Structure 1
Amino acid sequence: MNKVAVVSGGSNGIGKSIVKLLRKKNITVYNLDIQTDECDHYLKCNLANKEEVNECIMQIIRDEHTIDYLVSSAGIHFSGNIEQTTYDDFNRVLQINVGGTFNLLKAVLPYMKKNNAGKIVLLGSDQSKIAKPNSSCYNLSKHAIASLAKTTAIDYAKHNILVNAVCPGTIETPLYHNAIEKYAKKNNIQHIEQLHEEEAKLQPLNRIGQPDEVAELIYFLLSDKNKYITGSLQMIDGGFTAI
Protein backbone atom coordinates (compact mmCIF):
# COMPACT_ATOMS: atom_id res chain seq x y z
CA MET A 1 0.00 0.00 0.00
CA ASN A 2 1.30 3.46 -0.90
CA LYS A 3 2.48 5.51 2.07
CA VAL A 4 1.20 9.05 2.65
CA ALA A 5 3.29 11.90 4.09
CA VAL A 6 2.39 15.41 5.18
CA VAL A 7 5.19 17.97 4.95
CA SER A 8 4.81 21.56 6.10
CA GLY A 9 6.97 24.26 4.53
CA GLY A 10 7.74 22.12 1.50
CA SER A 11 7.88 24.88 -1.09
CA ASN A 12 11.52 25.83 -0.57
CA GLY A 13 14.70 25.12 1.37
CA ILE A 14 14.99 21.96 3.43
CA GLY A 15 11.26 21.29 3.12
CA LYS A 16 11.46 21.28 -0.67
CA SER A 17 14.33 18.77 -0.56
CA ILE A 18 12.29 16.55 1.76
CA VAL A 19 9.26 16.62 -0.55
CA LYS A 20 11.44 15.83 -3.58
CA LEU A 21 13.16 12.88 -1.88
CA LEU A 22 9.97 11.36 -0.48
CA ARG A 23 8.27 11.57 -3.87
CA LYS A 24 11.31 9.87 -5.41
CA LYS A 25 10.70 7.05 -2.92
CA ASN A 26 7.15 6.68 -4.29
CA ILE A 27 5.53 8.22 -1.23
CA THR A 28 2.45 10.39 -1.77
CA VAL A 29 3.42 13.76 -0.31
CA TYR A 30 1.12 16.62 0.61
CA ASN A 31 2.88 19.96 0.94
CA LEU A 32 1.21 22.38 3.34
CA ASP A 33 2.69 25.82 2.81
CA ILE A 34 1.66 29.42 2.48
CA GLN A 35 4.00 29.71 -0.53
CA THR A 36 2.77 28.25 -3.80
CA ASP A 37 4.12 24.93 -5.06
CA GLU A 38 3.51 23.85 -8.65
CA CYS A 39 3.66 20.13 -7.81
CA ASP A 40 0.70 17.85 -7.16
CA HIS A 41 -0.84 17.68 -3.69
CA TYR A 42 -0.06 21.25 -2.68
CA LEU A 43 -2.42 22.71 -0.12
CA LYS A 44 -2.15 26.38 0.72
CA CYS A 45 -2.10 26.61 4.50
CA ASN A 46 -1.17 29.10 7.18
CA LEU A 47 0.22 26.72 9.79
CA ALA A 48 -0.40 29.24 12.56
CA ASN A 49 -4.13 29.00 11.85
CA LYS A 50 -5.51 25.85 13.47
CA GLU A 51 -8.71 25.93 11.42
CA GLU A 52 -6.75 25.91 8.17
CA VAL A 53 -4.52 23.12 9.42
CA ASN A 54 -7.49 21.00 10.52
CA GLU A 55 -9.25 21.56 7.19
CA CYS A 56 -6.15 20.47 5.21
CA ILE A 57 -5.61 17.36 7.31
CA MET A 58 -9.27 16.36 7.02
CA GLN A 59 -9.07 16.82 3.24
CA ILE A 60 -6.02 14.52 3.12
CA ILE A 61 -7.82 11.90 5.21
CA ARG A 62 -10.85 12.09 2.91
CA ASP A 63 -8.62 11.56 -0.13
CA GLU A 64 -6.09 9.05 1.25
CA HIS A 65 -7.77 7.60 4.38
CA THR A 66 -4.45 7.63 6.24
CA ILE A 67 -1.37 9.65 7.16
CA ASP A 68 1.76 7.59 7.73
CA TYR A 69 4.39 10.31 8.08
CA LEU A 70 4.51 13.91 9.25
CA VAL A 71 7.43 16.28 8.72
CA SER A 72 6.99 19.70 10.30
CA SER A 73 9.56 21.92 8.62
CA ALA A 74 7.76 25.26 8.21
CA GLY A 75 9.36 28.08 10.17
CA ILE A 76 10.74 31.59 10.09
CA HIS A 77 13.96 33.13 11.36
CA PHE A 78 14.29 36.30 13.40
CA SER A 79 17.47 37.99 14.60
CA GLY A 80 17.56 40.22 17.66
CA ASN A 81 18.07 40.34 21.40
CA ILE A 82 15.15 40.90 23.77
CA GLU A 83 15.26 44.70 23.53
CA GLN A 84 15.32 44.51 19.75
CA THR A 85 12.36 42.11 19.65
CA THR A 86 8.91 43.67 19.64
CA TYR A 87 5.88 41.88 21.04
CA ASP A 88 4.64 41.49 17.47
CA ASP A 89 7.95 39.84 16.50
CA PHE A 90 7.73 37.54 19.52
CA ASN A 91 4.16 36.48 18.77
CA ARG A 92 4.82 35.96 15.05
CA VAL A 93 7.85 33.70 15.60
CA LEU A 94 6.17 31.65 18.32
CA GLN A 95 2.86 31.36 16.44
CA ILE A 96 4.54 30.03 13.30
CA ASN A 97 7.48 28.00 14.64
CA VAL A 98 5.86 26.55 17.75
CA GLY A 99 2.15 27.10 17.21
CA GLY A 100 2.30 25.75 13.66
CA THR A 101 4.05 22.59 14.83
CA PHE A 102 1.59 22.16 17.69
CA ASN A 103 -1.36 22.61 15.31
CA LEU A 104 -0.01 19.91 12.99
CA LEU A 105 0.62 17.46 15.81
CA LYS A 106 -2.83 18.12 17.25
CA ALA A 107 -4.47 17.48 13.87
CA VAL A 108 -2.45 14.43 12.75
CA LEU A 109 -1.88 12.42 15.93
CA PRO A 110 -5.49 11.16 16.31
CA TYR A 111 -5.29 9.45 12.90
CA MET A 112 -1.89 7.91 13.59
CA LYS A 113 -3.17 6.79 16.98
CA LYS A 114 -6.16 5.14 15.30
CA ASN A 115 -3.78 3.27 12.97
CA ASN A 116 -1.48 2.40 15.88
CA ALA A 117 1.45 3.52 13.73
CA GLY A 118 3.20 6.63 12.52
CA LYS A 119 6.49 8.45 12.25
CA ILE A 120 7.01 12.15 12.86
CA VAL A 121 10.02 14.39 12.35
CA LEU A 122 10.07 17.97 13.63
CA LEU A 123 12.60 20.43 12.26
CA GLY A 124 14.60 21.91 15.08
CA SER A 125 17.96 23.61 14.75
CA ASP A 126 21.42 23.60 16.27
CA GLN A 127 19.72 26.22 18.44
CA SER A 128 17.52 23.47 19.86
CA LYS A 129 20.65 22.60 21.84
CA ILE A 130 22.82 25.71 22.14
CA ALA A 131 22.46 29.49 22.32
CA LYS A 132 23.64 32.02 19.76
CA PRO A 133 23.90 35.82 19.98
CA ASN A 134 20.95 37.98 18.95
CA SER A 135 18.59 35.03 18.77
CA SER A 136 16.48 35.12 21.92
CA CYS A 137 13.08 34.56 20.27
CA TYR A 138 14.17 32.17 17.51
CA ASN A 139 16.27 30.18 19.99
CA LEU A 140 13.29 29.92 22.32
CA SER A 141 11.13 28.57 19.51
CA LYS A 142 13.68 25.90 18.55
CA HIS A 143 14.15 24.76 22.15
CA ALA A 144 10.36 24.41 22.25
CA ILE A 145 10.48 22.17 19.17
CA ALA A 146 12.97 19.91 20.96
CA SER A 147 10.62 19.73 23.92
CA LEU A 148 7.62 18.88 21.72
CA ALA A 149 9.57 16.09 20.02
CA LYS A 150 10.62 14.49 23.31
CA THR A 151 7.33 14.81 25.16
CA THR A 152 5.26 13.65 22.18
CA ALA A 153 7.57 10.65 21.73
CA ILE A 154 6.97 9.60 25.34
CA ASP A 155 3.23 10.17 25.26
CA TYR A 156 2.63 8.26 22.01
CA ALA A 157 5.19 5.45 22.21
CA LYS A 158 2.42 3.12 23.39
CA HIS A 159 0.65 3.81 20.08
CA ASN A 160 3.73 2.83 18.04
CA ILE A 161 4.30 6.43 16.95
CA LEU A 162 7.96 7.45 16.70
CA VAL A 163 8.78 11.15 17.06
CA ASN A 164 12.18 12.76 16.56
CA ALA A 165 13.65 16.19 15.91
CA VAL A 166 16.26 16.79 13.24
CA CYS A 167 18.43 19.76 14.16
CA PRO A 168 20.32 21.30 11.24
CA GLY A 169 23.16 23.73 11.68
CA THR A 170 24.15 26.13 8.92
CA ILE A 171 22.49 24.86 5.74
CA GLU A 172 22.53 26.60 2.36
CA THR A 173 18.87 27.51 1.95
CA PRO A 174 17.00 30.66 0.89
CA LEU A 175 16.60 31.36 4.62
CA TYR A 176 20.39 31.23 5.04
CA HIS A 177 21.03 33.51 2.04
CA ASN A 178 18.39 35.95 3.26
CA ALA A 179 20.02 36.10 6.70
CA ILE A 180 23.47 36.68 5.17
CA GLU A 181 22.16 39.44 2.91
CA LYS A 182 20.39 41.17 5.80
CA TYR A 183 23.56 41.00 7.90
CA ALA A 184 25.66 42.42 5.05
CA LYS A 185 23.23 45.29 4.49
CA LYS A 186 22.98 46.07 8.20
CA ASN A 187 26.76 46.18 8.58
CA ASN A 188 27.49 47.79 5.19
CA ILE A 189 29.48 44.79 3.96
CA GLN A 190 30.03 44.81 0.21
CA HIS A 191 31.55 41.38 -0.39
CA ILE A 192 28.93 38.81 0.59
CA GLU A 193 31.13 35.94 -0.61
CA GLN A 194 33.50 36.79 2.21
CA LEU A 195 30.69 36.22 4.71
CA HIS A 196 29.97 32.81 3.17
CA GLU A 197 33.65 31.87 3.50
CA GLU A 198 33.78 33.04 7.11
CA GLU A 199 30.62 31.09 7.92
CA ALA A 200 32.08 27.95 6.37
CA LYS A 201 35.25 28.30 8.45
CA LEU A 202 33.16 28.28 11.64
CA GLN A 203 32.10 24.71 10.88
CA PRO A 204 34.49 21.86 11.84
CA LEU A 205 33.90 20.31 8.40
CA ASN A 206 34.83 23.68 6.87
CA ARG A 207 31.74 23.93 4.66
CA ILE A 208 28.05 24.82 4.69
CA GLY A 209 25.59 21.92 4.77
CA GLN A 210 23.17 21.15 1.95
CA PRO A 211 19.37 20.65 2.16
CA ASP A 212 19.61 17.24 0.48
CA GLU A 213 21.82 16.00 3.32
CA VAL A 214 19.17 16.95 5.87
CA ALA A 215 16.46 15.32 3.74
CA GLU A 216 18.37 12.01 3.70
CA LEU A 217 18.53 11.96 7.51
CA ILE A 218 14.82 12.70 7.76
CA TYR A 219 14.03 9.94 5.29
CA PHE A 220 16.00 7.44 7.36
CA LEU A 221 14.00 8.35 10.48
CA LEU A 222 10.75 7.85 8.54
CA SER A 223 11.85 4.65 6.83
CA ASP A 224 11.36 1.05 7.88
CA LYS A 225 15.04 0.98 8.89
CA ASN A 226 14.16 3.08 11.93
CA LYS A 227 12.38 0.89 14.43
CA TYR A 228 13.83 2.07 17.74
CA ILE A 229 14.82 5.75 17.50
CA THR A 230 12.30 8.04 19.16
CA GLY A 231 12.47 11.10 21.38
CA SER A 232 15.88 12.02 19.97
CA LEU A 233 17.48 15.24 18.79
CA GLN A 234 19.46 14.34 15.68
CA MET A 235 22.14 16.96 15.10
CA ILE A 236 23.25 17.56 11.51
CA ASP A 237 25.53 20.56 11.84
CA GLY A 238 28.97 19.60 10.57
CA GLY A 239 30.13 19.18 14.16
CA PHE A 240 29.33 22.75 15.24
CA THR A 241 27.61 21.83 18.50
CA ALA A 242 30.40 19.38 19.37
CA ILE A 243 32.90 22.22 19.81
Structure 2
Amino acid sequence: MTLNGKVAVVTGSNSGIGLGIAQVLAERGAKVVINSFTDRPEDHQLAAQIATDTGSEVTYVAADMSSGDDCRALVEKAKARFGSVDILVNNAGIQHVERIEDFPPEKWDAIIAINLNSAFHTSAAALPMMRAAGWGRIVNIASAHGLTASPFKSAYVAAKHGVVGLSKVTALETAGEGITCNAICPGYVLTPLVEAQIPDQMKTHNMDRETVIREVMLARQPSRQFATTDQIGGTVAFLCSEDAAQITGTTISVDGGWTAL
Protein backbone atom coordinates (compact mmCIF):
# COMPACT_ATOMS: atom_id res chain seq x y z
CA MET A 1 0.00 0.00 0.00
CA THR A 2 2.49 2.58 -1.22
CA LEU A 3 1.82 6.30 -1.51
CA ASN A 4 5.13 7.09 -3.20
CA GLY A 5 4.99 10.34 -5.14
CA LYS A 6 1.81 11.57 -3.47
CA VAL A 7 1.66 14.84 -1.52
CA ALA A 8 -0.45 14.91 1.65
CA VAL A 9 -1.62 17.82 3.77
CA VAL A 10 -2.76 16.92 7.29
CA THR A 11 -4.30 19.75 9.29
CA GLY A 12 -3.89 19.94 13.06
CA SER A 13 -1.04 17.46 12.97
CA ASN A 14 1.68 18.45 15.41
CA SER A 15 0.19 16.13 18.05
CA GLY A 16 -2.42 13.45 18.69
CA ILE A 17 -4.48 11.92 15.90
CA GLY A 18 -3.14 14.26 13.23
CA LEU A 19 0.45 13.46 14.08
CA GLY A 20 -0.30 9.74 13.97
CA ILE A 21 -1.88 10.12 10.53
CA ALA A 22 1.05 12.18 9.22
CA GLN A 23 3.55 9.59 10.45
CA VAL A 24 1.71 6.70 8.79
CA LEU A 25 1.37 8.56 5.47
CA ALA A 26 5.08 9.41 5.54
CA GLU A 27 5.90 5.77 6.31
CA ARG A 28 3.91 4.79 3.20
CA GLY A 29 6.06 7.12 1.09
CA ALA A 30 3.96 10.29 0.83
CA LYS A 31 5.48 13.74 1.04
CA VAL A 32 3.69 15.31 3.99
CA VAL A 33 2.82 18.82 5.16
CA ILE A 34 2.05 18.91 8.87
CA ASN A 35 0.28 21.87 10.41
CA SER A 36 -0.85 23.73 13.50
CA PHE A 37 -1.46 27.35 14.42
CA THR A 38 1.90 27.82 16.18
CA ASP A 39 5.21 28.53 14.45
CA ARG A 40 7.82 27.37 16.95
CA PRO A 41 11.24 25.81 16.33
CA GLU A 42 9.94 22.56 17.80
CA ASP A 43 7.18 22.42 15.17
CA HIS A 44 9.75 22.45 12.39
CA GLN A 45 11.96 20.05 14.35
CA LEU A 46 9.03 17.63 14.54
CA ALA A 47 8.70 17.67 10.75
CA ALA A 48 12.43 17.05 10.43
CA GLN A 49 12.23 14.14 12.88
CA ILE A 50 9.38 12.47 10.95
CA ALA A 51 11.42 12.89 7.76
CA THR A 52 14.45 11.26 9.42
CA ASP A 53 12.36 8.40 10.81
CA THR A 54 10.50 7.64 7.56
CA GLY A 55 12.79 8.75 4.75
CA SER A 56 10.00 10.89 3.28
CA GLU A 57 10.00 14.63 2.75
CA VAL A 58 8.07 16.35 5.53
CA THR A 59 7.60 20.06 6.15
CA TYR A 60 5.70 22.18 8.66
CA VAL A 61 3.41 25.05 7.67
CA ALA A 62 1.73 27.24 10.29
CA ALA A 63 -1.89 28.21 9.61
CA ASP A 64 -4.79 29.36 11.76
CA MET A 65 -7.55 26.93 10.81
CA SER A 66 -10.21 29.32 12.10
CA SER A 67 -9.30 31.61 9.18
CA GLY A 68 -10.59 30.70 5.74
CA ASP A 69 -7.76 32.65 4.13
CA ASP A 70 -5.16 30.75 6.17
CA CYS A 71 -6.78 27.42 5.27
CA ARG A 72 -6.57 28.15 1.57
CA ALA A 73 -3.04 29.54 1.91
CA LEU A 74 -1.95 26.30 3.60
CA VAL A 75 -2.94 24.32 0.51
CA GLU A 76 -1.25 26.80 -1.81
CA LYS A 77 1.95 26.69 0.26
CA ALA A 78 1.91 22.90 0.07
CA LYS A 79 1.60 23.14 -3.71
CA ALA A 80 4.45 25.66 -3.86
CA ARG A 81 6.65 23.35 -1.78
CA PHE A 82 5.87 20.00 -3.39
CA GLY A 83 4.12 20.80 -6.68
CA SER A 84 0.65 19.46 -5.89
CA VAL A 85 -1.77 18.33 -3.21
CA ASP A 86 -2.99 14.79 -3.83
CA ILE A 87 -4.22 13.87 -0.34
CA LEU A 88 -6.00 16.20 2.06
CA VAL A 89 -6.74 15.09 5.60
CA ASN A 90 -8.94 17.55 7.50
CA ASN A 91 -8.19 16.73 11.11
CA ALA A 92 -7.97 20.07 12.96
CA GLY A 93 -10.45 20.38 15.79
CA ILE A 94 -11.21 21.80 19.22
CA GLN A 95 -13.82 21.05 21.88
CA HIS A 96 -15.81 22.84 24.58
CA VAL A 97 -18.44 21.35 26.88
CA GLU A 98 -21.34 23.45 28.18
CA ARG A 99 -25.12 23.59 28.34
CA ILE A 100 -26.62 25.28 25.29
CA GLU A 101 -27.93 28.28 27.19
CA ASP A 102 -24.53 28.79 28.82
CA PHE A 103 -22.41 28.01 25.77
CA PRO A 104 -20.16 31.03 25.03
CA PRO A 105 -20.97 32.31 21.53
CA GLU A 106 -17.29 32.84 20.80
CA LYS A 107 -16.62 29.16 21.62
CA TRP A 108 -19.44 28.10 19.29
CA ASP A 109 -17.99 30.24 16.48
CA ALA A 110 -14.46 28.90 17.02
CA ILE A 111 -15.54 25.25 17.05
CA ILE A 112 -17.63 25.62 13.90
CA ALA A 113 -14.79 27.52 12.19
CA ILE A 114 -12.00 25.08 13.06
CA ASN A 115 -13.91 21.79 12.99
CA LEU A 116 -16.15 22.42 9.97
CA ASN A 117 -15.41 25.58 8.00
CA SER A 118 -11.73 24.73 7.66
CA ALA A 119 -12.60 21.49 5.83
CA PHE A 120 -14.65 23.48 3.32
CA HIS A 121 -11.89 26.00 2.67
CA THR A 122 -9.06 23.48 2.32
CA SER A 123 -11.19 21.25 0.09
CA ALA A 124 -12.15 24.19 -2.13
CA ALA A 125 -8.47 25.03 -2.54
CA ALA A 126 -7.31 21.45 -3.17
CA LEU A 127 -10.02 20.17 -5.51
CA PRO A 128 -8.88 22.07 -8.62
CA MET A 129 -5.43 20.46 -8.27
CA MET A 130 -6.96 17.01 -7.82
CA ARG A 131 -9.25 17.48 -10.81
CA ALA A 132 -6.33 18.57 -12.96
CA ALA A 133 -4.39 15.47 -11.90
CA GLY A 134 -7.37 13.12 -12.29
CA TRP A 135 -6.68 11.71 -8.83
CA GLY A 136 -7.26 12.81 -5.27
CA ARG A 137 -8.20 11.70 -1.80
CA ILE A 138 -9.96 13.80 0.83
CA VAL A 139 -10.35 12.22 4.25
CA ASN A 140 -12.27 14.21 6.83
CA ILE A 141 -11.79 13.24 10.47
CA ALA A 142 -15.27 13.48 11.92
CA SER A 143 -16.20 11.61 15.11
CA ALA A 144 -18.66 9.18 16.58
CA HIS A 145 -20.35 12.48 17.39
CA GLY A 146 -20.82 12.98 13.66
CA LEU A 147 -23.28 10.08 13.79
CA THR A 148 -24.75 10.38 17.28
CA ALA A 149 -24.93 12.98 20.04
CA SER A 150 -24.03 13.63 23.65
CA PRO A 151 -25.35 16.36 25.94
CA PHE A 152 -23.33 19.55 26.46
CA LYS A 153 -21.45 19.19 23.15
CA SER A 154 -23.76 21.18 20.88
CA ALA A 155 -21.10 22.90 18.78
CA TYR A 156 -18.89 19.84 18.43
CA VAL A 157 -21.79 17.55 17.49
CA ALA A 158 -23.16 20.10 15.03
CA ALA A 159 -19.74 20.57 13.43
CA LYS A 160 -18.99 16.86 13.14
CA HIS A 161 -22.43 16.13 11.65
CA GLY A 162 -21.62 18.92 9.20
CA VAL A 163 -18.29 17.28 8.34
CA VAL A 164 -20.12 14.04 7.48
CA GLY A 165 -22.56 15.95 5.27
CA LEU A 166 -19.77 17.90 3.57
CA SER A 167 -17.97 14.62 2.85
CA LYS A 168 -21.05 13.24 1.08
CA VAL A 169 -21.50 16.35 -1.05
CA THR A 170 -17.81 16.40 -1.98
CA ALA A 171 -18.01 12.74 -3.00
CA LEU A 172 -21.03 13.36 -5.22
CA GLU A 173 -19.44 16.38 -6.89
CA THR A 174 -16.25 14.43 -7.70
CA ALA A 175 -17.68 10.99 -8.52
CA GLY A 176 -16.09 9.52 -11.63
CA GLU A 177 -13.13 11.90 -11.58
CA GLY A 178 -10.65 9.68 -9.75
CA ILE A 179 -11.29 11.60 -6.51
CA THR A 180 -12.82 10.19 -3.37
CA CYS A 181 -13.98 11.82 -0.15
CA ASN A 182 -14.85 9.96 3.02
CA ALA A 183 -15.20 10.65 6.73
CA ILE A 184 -13.61 8.65 9.52
CA CYS A 185 -15.59 8.66 12.75
CA PRO A 186 -13.35 7.76 15.69
CA GLY A 187 -14.58 7.05 19.17
CA TYR A 188 -12.16 7.63 22.03
CA VAL A 189 -8.56 7.57 20.83
CA LEU A 190 -5.58 7.31 23.17
CA THR A 191 -3.76 10.60 22.57
CA PRO A 192 -1.48 12.52 24.93
CA LEU A 193 -4.43 14.79 25.75
CA VAL A 194 -6.60 11.82 26.77
CA GLU A 195 -3.70 10.15 28.61
CA ALA A 196 -3.26 13.29 30.71
CA GLN A 197 -6.90 13.06 31.86
CA ILE A 198 -6.58 9.57 33.30
CA PRO A 199 -4.91 10.46 36.65
CA ASP A 200 -7.58 13.10 37.40
CA GLN A 201 -10.34 10.63 36.57
CA MET A 202 -8.71 8.03 38.84
CA LYS A 203 -8.67 10.53 41.69
CA THR A 204 -12.22 11.80 41.08
CA HIS A 205 -13.76 8.30 40.96
CA ASN A 206 -11.36 6.61 43.40
CA MET A 207 -10.59 3.89 40.88
CA ASP A 208 -7.44 2.28 39.55
CA ARG A 209 -6.28 3.07 36.02
CA GLU A 210 -7.82 0.09 34.22
CA THR A 211 -11.16 0.42 36.01
CA VAL A 212 -11.56 4.13 35.37
CA ILE A 213 -10.70 3.63 31.69
CA ARG A 214 -13.15 0.76 31.29
CA GLU A 215 -16.04 1.96 33.47
CA VAL A 216 -15.88 5.75 33.12
CA MET A 217 -13.91 6.95 30.12
CA LEU A 218 -14.95 4.13 27.78
CA ALA A 219 -18.42 3.56 29.18
CA ARG A 220 -19.99 4.24 25.75
CA GLN A 221 -17.37 2.27 23.77
CA PRO A 222 -18.39 -1.42 23.92
CA SER A 223 -14.90 -2.75 23.19
CA ARG A 224 -13.70 -0.97 26.36
CA GLN A 225 -10.48 -0.23 24.49
CA PHE A 226 -9.12 3.01 23.09
CA ALA A 227 -8.44 3.25 19.40
CA THR A 228 -4.84 4.22 18.66
CA THR A 229 -3.48 6.98 16.47
CA ASP A 230 -1.74 4.31 14.37
CA GLN A 231 -5.10 2.65 13.73
CA ILE A 232 -6.60 5.94 12.57
CA GLY A 233 -3.53 6.55 10.41
CA GLY A 234 -3.82 3.08 8.91
CA THR A 235 -7.47 3.68 8.07
CA VAL A 236 -6.56 6.94 6.35
CA ALA A 237 -3.82 5.19 4.38
CA PHE A 238 -6.27 2.51 3.25
CA LEU A 239 -8.74 5.16 2.02
CA CYS A 240 -5.89 6.73 0.04
CA SER A 241 -5.00 3.45 -1.64
CA GLU A 242 -6.25 2.06 -4.94
CA ASP A 243 -8.02 -0.68 -2.98
CA ALA A 244 -10.41 2.05 -1.78
CA ALA A 245 -10.93 3.72 -5.17
CA GLN A 246 -14.66 2.92 -5.11
CA ILE A 247 -15.19 3.88 -1.48
CA THR A 248 -16.52 7.42 -1.48
CA GLY A 249 -19.19 9.43 0.27
CA THR A 250 -19.32 7.21 3.31
CA THR A 251 -18.26 7.06 6.94
CA ILE A 252 -15.93 4.55 8.54
CA SER A 253 -16.40 4.18 12.28
CA VAL A 254 -13.34 3.39 14.38
CA ASP A 255 -15.20 3.45 17.65
CA GLY A 256 -15.13 0.01 19.26
CA GLY A 257 -18.84 -0.47 18.51
CA TRP A 258 -20.08 2.82 19.99
CA THR A 259 -22.40 3.74 17.10
CA ALA A 260 -23.64 0.15 16.75
CA LEU A 261 -25.63 0.53 19.98
Say whether the fold is shared (TM-score over 0.5).
yes
Residue pair 1:181, 1:192 contacting (<8 A) in 2 also: no
Residue correspondence of structure 1 range 108-123 to structure 2 within 5 A: 108-123=126-141
Q: Does 1:163 align with 2:166?
A: no
Task: Tell me, yes or no, if structure 1 residue 26 matches structure 2 residue 29.
Answer: yes
Q: Partner residue of 1:240?
A: 258
1:84, distance to aligned residue in structure 2 (A):
2.4
**Residue 54 (structure 2) aligns with:** none
SS in 2 for 1:172: coil
2:51 — aligned with what? Answer: none
Paired position in structure 1 for 2:19: 16
Spell out, residue by residue over 1:101-147, the C-alpha distance to the aligned partner (whole angstroms, 9 max, x if none).
Answer: 11111111111112121011000000111111211111001000001
State the Cα distance separating 1:158 from its structure 2 match.
3.6
Q: What CA deviation, in whole Å up to 9, does each residue of 1:20-54 have, x standing for no partner?
A: 11111111001121243521400011112122222
**Distance change >3 Å, CA 162–CA 127, structure 1 → 2:** same
What letter is aligned with 2:25? L
Deviation at 1:211, TM superposition (A): 1.3
Q: Which residue, 7, 11, 15 being the options, matches 2:10?
A: 7
**One-letter code aligned to 1:98:** L
Trace 1:60-99 onto structure 2 (pairs within 5 A): 60-99=78-117
Higher mean C-alpha displacement, 197-206 vs 222-231: 197-206
1:43 to 52, 55, 61: 61
How big is each residue's C-alpha offset from its partner over 1:175-225, in whole Å with a ceiling of 9 and x where there is no partner?
A: 43466678x59x955658353232235422121211111111111001121
Aligned partners of 2:178 and 2:245 also within 8 Å: no
- What letter is aligned with 2:214? E
Residues 51, 167 of structure 1: CA spacing in aligned structure 2 closer, same or farther, 3 A cutoff?
same
Match for 1:195: what amino acid? V
After TM superposition, list the pairs within 5 Å mapping 1:178-193 onto structure 2. Answer: 184=201, 189=205, 193=209
Give the Cα separation in 2 of the matches to 1:103 and 1:180.
35
* Count of aligned positions: 241
| TM-score, reference length from structure 2 | 0.85
**Is the Cα contact below 8 Å between 2:85 and 2:126 reproduced in 1?**
yes
Residue 143 of structure 1 corresponds to: 161
Letter in 2 for 1:2: G
Identity %: 28
SS of the residue corresponding to residue 107 of structure 2 reads helix
Cα distance, 1:92 vs structure 2 = 0.9
CA distance in 2, matches of 1:178, 1:101: 28
The one-letter code of the counterpart of 2:239 is L
In 2, Cα distance between equivalents of 1:28 and 1:97: 24
Question: How far 1:161 moved relative to its partner?
Answer: 1.1
Asked if 2 retains the 8 angstrom alpha-carbon contact of 1:7 and 1:73, the reply is yes
Conserved 8 A contact 1:77-1:175 = no
Q: How many angstroms does 1:81 deviate by? A: 2.2
TM-score normalised to structure 1 length: 0.91
Q: Structure 2: give runs of 5+ residues left out of the alignment.
A: 48-57
SS of the aligned residue for 2:19 comes to helix
Amino acid at match of 1:224: E
CA 1:179–1:106 in structure 2 vs 1: closer, same or farther (change >3 Å)? farther
Tell whether the 8 Å contact from 1:116 to 1:159 is kept in structure 2 after alignment: yes
Matched residues in 2 for 1:180 and 1:152: separation? 38
- Residue matched to 1:208: 226
